[in-house]
Each structure stands twice: as structure tokens, then as C-alpha cells.
């Protein structure tokens, strides 16, 4: 099961195997993992929370209220 977290990672529950593009299996240390989708994590493919520092947005910003 994959949950797309708003402005954040993909949360993956359940068994998946993750491989690098060269075919090495990437070790997972926990049952539920977060996969980076902002591109700036220092521990890719996992999320390290950096998406918050770069203000990563998965939704278009709300239109500014006009006064």
C-alpha cells in the first residue's frame, strides 16, 4: 500500500523489494518506509525530511485571496 503524503514522501507499507538502477538490492531497515519524491533527500531513495526545507509542493498553491 502506498500513501502519497501531501508535500512529502510516498509512504510504503507492505513488502516491496527496492533495487538501484544497477540492480543492487537496497536494504530496508523498517516495515514502513518513506520514499523521497522531492529529489533533495541525502539518503535517497528514502526521505530524510529535507522536502520541508525546500518547500516542496505536491499541490498547486492556493490562489491568493484578493482583498
Residue 43, Cβ density class (10 Å: 0-12 exposed, 13-18 middle, ≥19 buried): exposed
Q: Pick the binder of ligand FES from 18, 51, 60, 67 (CB under 6 A).
A: 51
Residue 41 within binding range of ligand FES, rule CB under 6 A: yes
Q: 33 or 36: whose CB is closer to ligand FES?
A: 36
Residue 48 within binding range of ligand FES, rule CB under 6 A: yes
CA atoms within 13 A on the CB side of 29: 3
Residue 58 within binding range of another protein, rule CB under 8 A: no
Amino acid at each position: 500500500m502506498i500513501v502519497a503524503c501531501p508535500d512529502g514522501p510516498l509512504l510504503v507499507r507492505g513488502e516491496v523489494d527496492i533495487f538501484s538502477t544497477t540492480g543492487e538490492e537496497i536494504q530496508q531497515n523498517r516495515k514502513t518506509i518513506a520514499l523521497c519524491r522531492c529529489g533533495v533527500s541525502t539518503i535517497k531513495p528514502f526521505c530524510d525530511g529535507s522536502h520541508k526545507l525546500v518547500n516542496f509542493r505536491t499541490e498547486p498553491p492556493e490562489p491568493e485571496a484578493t482583498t
